[in-house]
Chains A and B, each alone.
Chain A
């Protein structure tokens, strides 16, 4: 597991292969909301890239892929920092 960069790119390859086939249907909770709930919802925070899309890119797959790449990278960095912070107890 030393080659983090290599595995990161493998994850992006995985994303590129599967994203075009990803379903646009609502997920389980969204289906429950659509069928039984109030569709008008007040969200006070709409994120930086809502719905995994970048506004200036029209192609939805490319837009989602780029936002997915950014997300994967930020999770990687944040989790690496977390891992460094929780160094195991030396005494064990």
Chain B
């Protein structure tokens, strides 16, 4: 779902305006996440932030085939949110996106604000949907299904925003890009949901103390 600059640099000025708007919006969210990270956590997140972000980078390289001749890969925003909580997840995911854009040209520079919004911010904020669905429950099955739903929705919502952003570059406009992005990503999102739910369930069995985000699920102040 990484938007390249080629879809932003078009003859339509709306493309550039949209990209600039997404830069500003993402910057505001990143600043907010930075501030909230500082006040939300009582212990250092350094090791977990480093390792989990590195894992997400590696996992994003493994594309799995889905139907209609397309493929998908884990985005990982919801997974990071369960490990780190929403705010640090947004920051960790942004680090992944910076490296992908700068070193590997995976996602554009002008499009960077949009990519941060669609993957890091929506992914991190999916934490609050998990929180809503859990309603203070500690049931593991409920957690797995909440994680599945939230990660699926994070991919679909990201695709919706990406579909809007790239629409000026397409002859068919929004009526082409939004439905197409939604259809493909509704299917890719099933992979995201399944992988995230399996990862979260596995870590909960092996090393539950790692998942700091889960403790935050029950905090009302967050």
Task: Report A's interface with B, CB cutoff 8 A.
Answer: 1-2, 4, 7-8, 11-12, 14-15, 18-19, 21-33, 35-38, 40-52, 64, 67-68, 70-80, 82-84, 86-89, 92
Contacts and interface: CB of A to CB of B under 8 A. Distances in A.
13 contacts: A1-B47, A14-B58, A29-B184, A45-B105, A47-B102, A75-B99, A76-B50, A76-B54, A80-B49, A82-B91, A86-B88, A86-B91, A88-B43
B177 A46 contact: no
A78 B176 CA distance: 38
B90 to A, nearest CB: 11
Interface of B: 1-7, 9, 34, 37-59, 61-65, 68-73, 88, 91-92, 95-96, 98-106, 108-109, 159, 162-163, 166, 169-172, 176-177, 180-181, 184-185, 188, 210
Interface of B is mostly: helix
A28 B57 contact: no
The A interface is mostly helix, strand or loop, or mixed, namely helix
Nearest to B186: A28
